[in-house]
Amino acid sequence: MLEKTAVPALRNHFRFQWEPAQDCHVLLYPEGMIKLNGSAGEIMSCCDGERTIDGIIDMLAAKFPEAPDLSADILDFFKVAHEQQWIDFS
C-alpha cells in the first residue's frame, strides 16, 4: 500500500509536457511517447518532487471541488505509474 506521505517524482529519463499535436499531456522518453488522459495529466502536473501524495490529493480536490473523493483514483494512478516505472517515491 502506498504511503500518503510519499513524494512522487518523475524518473530521470522521462519528460512531462503538453503536446499540442496530440492535444494532451505526454511523457516523453528516448524510445517514444506515452499519451496521458486528462486526469493523468492533471495528476502528473502536480508531481514536482516536493509534494506528498496527500498534498497532491488536497491540491486536486481544491482545483476540482465538484468531483467526488479523488483519493482512490489518485492512489490507483500512482500505483500504475510506479509499476510502469514512470515515477519513483522518496
Taking alpha carbons only, the member of 63, 57, 62, 64 closest to residue 78 is 57
pLDDT tens column, 37-90: 999 999 999 999 999 999 999 999 999 999 999 999 999 999 999 999 999 999
Contact between 75 and 53 under an 8 Å Cβ cutoff? The reply is yes
pTM: 0.93
Q: Which pLDDT score is estimated for 89?
A: 96
The domain 8-89 having CATH identifier 1.10.10.1150: the answer here is yes
Q: Which pLDDT score is estimated for 24?
A: 98
Residue 90 CA to residue 23 CA, distance in Å, equals 31
Each domain of the chain, given as residue ranges in start order, spans 8-89
Residue 2: which pLDDT band, with cuts at 50, 70 and 90? confident
Q: Which pLDDT score is estimated for 41?
A: 98
